[in-house]
Structure 1
Amino acid sequence: MIAMLKNRSFKYMVVLTVSAFTLQSCFVAKDYVRPQVEETQNLYRTDALPTDSLSMADLSWKELFTDPYLVQYIEQGLQNNIDIRVAIQQVLSAEAYAKQGKAGYLPTLNGKASITHQELSKNSQLGSFLTNRSTDQYELTGSLSWEADIWGKIRSNKRATDADYLSTVAAHQAVKSRLVSDIASTYYQLLALDSQLEITKRTVMVRDSSVSTIQALKDAGNVTQVAVDQNVAQYNNARAIQVDLETAIFQTENVLSILLGEHPRGYARSILDDQHLQTDLKLGVPTLLLSNRPDVIAAEYNLVKAFELTNVARSNFYPSLTISATGGFQSLELDQLLNARSFFANIVGGLAQPILNQHKIRTQKEVADAQQEQALLEFKRSLLVAGNEVSNALYSYTAETEKFKFKNLEVEALRRAEQNSNDLLKNGFANYLDLLTARQSALSAELNLIDSKLKQLLSIVDLYQALGGGWK
């Protein structure tokens, strides 16, 4: 008896399954095709459009940054940074949903074991005729349900979860790229502050001695008390700048500690003059941003997800084929539960077509279409932002490189002016105001020269990140 029921159920299952796969030839779901984005042709605002298929973003950050201290700090940051660790957990969460999406093709199977005790009322229609109004029923059952993917709904759901996972991976890569850039930028800022502090300390020492010199000239009647007071003022001004720089170093080290995911402390480092980022600044063709920029990659995967969810919303207009089967054992006596006469089974296959559902399906489709269009616009915007960042970083590097030459000549000229003014003052051929002006101008120019050198380094770091470097 059991064998007959099993064979009959199996035949029904085979017929419905074959019918389902035959209907699958009528797929409604469309395949994603990357949209034509015209903006990629002119993303970079530069006179010389790049034609090279290579980009500096293809370099590993270990190839671009060679300072041993900086390399150590970047490695530490990639291990311990809180944002990185949060991004990893987001990747793991998306991976779990992706695994769930892959299981959409599989049937659901549930098992149940139950005992039912029933007491009939003496005054009930049935209870009034029965002597024994107390019954127990034992049941051991299993149920299986499977939906055929006729219109590609399950396939689209799977692709949507896969795209969501890959978008999260790209977002994690974007966090890595930004972190590498932030650590390098903060490190270079520390080196620049160190150089400015060294210059300021030397200036404080020189102005300290000049106060004594001016006081001697005043005692000799060569200058007035005004000159002495002005030199004292300049001396204290340099000391105030020193305090500001020491405060900035302290705070910048604290910023670095946050990036490295540890408690604040001081950090060993090299000097600014030893920093030389040797690179050809290859931009690569603009379309490389589609494969190098993690945020652009994430935006496209979000578009893929929205596209596939639109497929899902469209498939809801069509009938769904579901096959359900239930089987098991039922008995009023526990010792007869596994008896062949206690076995039961049924199989149901049916098509369900939505007719009236309060406009829900149409609303879902309209919302999905709007979200897909929004994802497309976000994708286009990410490309425009990427091109803008590349253009700004490239122009900034070119401008700072040119400005550094002029700043260097300015410093050399002001140093000579300061020395000449000092010599002339000692010999009575110059006014002390000339010396004070030359000194203040020389100090400002030297500090600005370091700032220009820092901006050169930062522009390369910005360009590297803008092109999508730092996560490989």
Structure 2
Amino acid sequence: MERAKWFLATLLSLTMAGCTVGPDYTEPGIELGQQYENQQGWVRAQPNAAALRADWWTLFDDPVLNGLMDEVLVNNQTIAQFEAQYQQAQALLRESEAQFFPSVNANAGFTRSGSGAEGVSQQYRVAGTVSWEPDLWGRIRRTVEAESAQLQASEAELAGTRLSVQSTLAQTYFRLRSFDAELRLYEQTVEAYRRSLQTTENRLNAGVAAQLDVESARVQLNNALTQQQALRRQRAQLENAMAVLLGKPPSQFSLPSEPVSVAVPSIPAGLPSELLQRRPDIASAERQVAAANAQIGVAQSAWFPNLTLTAEGGYRAGQWAQWLSAPFSFWSLGPALAMTIFDGGAREARIEQARAGYEAQVAVYRQTVLTALREVEDYLVDLNSLAREQQSQQRALDAARASLRLTLNQYNAGLIDYLSVVQVETTALAAERASLSLSADRLIAAVQLIAALGGGWQQPIPAEVRE
């Protein structure tokens, strides 16, 4: 018995001092640049400046949008799917960590057997077994390391899904509000065109206008009615898309039309290096690299023998009354080593597979970073360009309105025909629609930039895990 205790103590010491095969993880390097190329005119984040908030949509100061964002986090089914996958990753990690502990099993049975010489015999048996595999080579530790990294990757994927759904909802909302504004414009325009048609018909009856003027006014009115109907169709489709995002059937969701006035907020772009901590997709890709690195150690541990300690004890007897009596007890204790001698190169192939998987994940990580940098640059370009476009479009709109007033005065004075009025009114209407569309484009580009910057998300991975 003393030898057994000494043997167990020695094995425990070896386990505690056991090595961990496989490469230790270091985060892959990538060139990021010192600043964004298209950051001119935007806020450069300072060391003490407030970063984007997690509730970034409140920057737009729209109560309806705020309420929709609260609802989408609860009811969106894509978010629910990734929440379930995150819980699955948590369970997988707990399953891997359970390998550090011994397994305890119990069994009981009754057998009855016989032979021609000895007759019939029976046996009652109850026993318990304890089995433990010391992690001498770090296989379990590397497995837990991989599952822990996968859990962190799943957490980042969940954050990325939430950000993507929120961004899509905000973009859909602003586009829908743009259509609302265009529909109000068309309501006024159609009413003005009806009056113009009536006026032109009266002038025809009075003999001061031609039939061509009446037909031109009628064509103009019907074209406006057609475009108005097209806008209603597009708005209904956007409303249906919002219903699905909110986890509702389209028939159970309606967003009333109302005028809104939303300004483009100031967005601190920060530095390219901050994207590594702000973007959930980058964090997820980096954690996938860490998991792939740990899998190399798991594969390499197959070269070493597995040590299993097993202890068993119980009672067995031929009669029920003697089943649990001390003389009929039994026990056993001992180690077992198992090692594969020849497998035709299977272990080496698995190691090469793990290394190739690691290289693939490194490439995915670097591509994810490059894509993130491109997205930020693209949306900075969009916002800078759209701001200038809106300024020039406003000047064009002012000129179109002035031109329309002059043209109507000339028509009322009988100096020009109605066809000239139609041309100027068409130009003015296009300028009005372009101005409304540019306002929505700027808001949508702001949402896209916020999402590209990570939407205020911060990487929760502790520093000691990343070292």
Same fold at TM > 0.5: yes
Partner residue in 2 for 1:68: 63
The 5 Å alignment of 1:432-447 reads 432-447=418-433
Identity %: 27
Paired with 2:257 and 2:102, the residues of 1 have a C-alpha distance of: 60
CA distance in 2, matches of 1:251, 1:432: 36
Out of 24, 29, 34, which is 2:27 matched to?
A: 34
Deviation at 1:330, TM superposition (A): 1.8
Which residue of structure 1 aligns with residue 464 of structure 2? none
Look up the match of 2:93: 98
Give the Cα separation in 2 of the matches to 1:65 and 1:41.
Answer: 30
**Deviation at residue 395 of structure 1 after TM alignment:** 0.6
Distance 1:382 1:459, change over 3 A: same
Match of 1:316 among 275, 293, 302: 302
Once the two structures are superposed, the pairs formed by residues 219-258 of structure 1 within 5 Å of their partners are 219-258=205-244
Is 1:216 paired with 2:197? no
Give the Cα–Cα distance (whole angstroms) in 2 for the partners of residues 148 and 29 of structure 1: 18
| Structure 2 counterparts to residues 274-423 of structure 1, below 5 A | 274-279=261-266, 281-423=267-409
What residue number does 1:151 align with?
137
Is 1:455 equivalent to 2:447 in the alignment? no
Distance 2:455 2:45 in 1: 19
Of the three residues 153, 165, 173, the one matched with 1:187 is: 173
Structure 1 SS opposite 2:414: coil
Q: Distance in 1 between matches of 2:193 and 2:39?
A: 48
User: Deviation digits for residues 376-406 of structure 1, max 9, x if unmatched?
Assistant: 1111111111111111111101111110011
| Residue matched to 1:164 | 150
Question: 422-431 or 183-192: which moved more?
Answer: 422-431
* Partners of 1:43 and 1:387 within 8 A in 2: no
Q: Runs (4+) of structure 1 moved beyond 6 Å?
A: none
**Is the contact made by 1:179 and 1:259 (CA closer than 8 Å) also made in structure 2?**
yes
Quick one: structure 1 residues 155 and 101, their matched pair in 2 at CA, closer, same or farther if it must change by over 3 Å? Answer: same
What displacement does 1:425 show? 1.1
Alignment equivalent of 1:89, drawn from 81, 84, 100:
84
**1:17 is aligned to 2:9:** no
Structure 2 residue identity aligned to 1:18? S
Aligned to 2:259: 271
How big is the shift at 1:19? 3.7
Per-residue CA distance 1:192-212 (angstroms, 9 max, x = gap): 001000111111011111112
Moved more, 391-400 or 48-57: 48-57
Return closer, same or farther for 1:185/1:295 CA change in 2, 3 Å cut-off.
same
1:58 deviates by 4.1
Question: C-alpha deviations, 1:419-452, integer Å up to 9, x for none?
Answer: 1111101112223332111000111110111000
Judged with a 3 Å threshold, the aligned counterparts in structure 2 of structure 1 residues 83 and 105 are, in CA distance, closer, same or farther, namely: same
Matches within 5 A, 1:73-152: 73-120=68-115, 122=116, 127=117, 130=118, 133-152=119-138
State how many pairs are aligned.
453
Which moved further from structure 2: 98-107 or 345-354?
Answer: 345-354
Following TM superposition, by how much is the alpha carbon of 1:216 offset from its aligned partner in structure 2, in angstroms?
Answer: 2.7
Separation in 1, partners of 2:274, 2:53: 10
SS of 2:106's equivalent?
strand
3-state SS of 1:345 partner:
strand
Change in CA separation of 1:249 and 1:83 when aligned onto 2, cut-off 3 Å: same
Structure 1 residue ranges without an equivalent (≥5):
none
1:46 is matched with which residue? 38
Q: 1:136 to 1:8 in 2, by over 3 A?
A: farther
- AA matched with 2:263: H
- Structure 2 stretches of 5 or more lacking a match? 459-467
Which residue identity lines up with residue 232 of structure 2 in the other structure?
Answer: E
* Rounded Cα–Cα distance in structure 2 between residues aligned with 1:329 and 1:12: 25
CA deviation digits over 1:328-367, x for unaligned, max 9? Answer: 2222222222222222222221333322023221111111
Say if 1:52 and 1:282, in contact at 8 Å, map to a contact too: no
- Secondary structure in 1 matching 2:270: coil
Match of 2:247 among 229, 244, 261: 261
Aligned residues of 1:43 and 1:388 also touching (Cα < 8 A): no
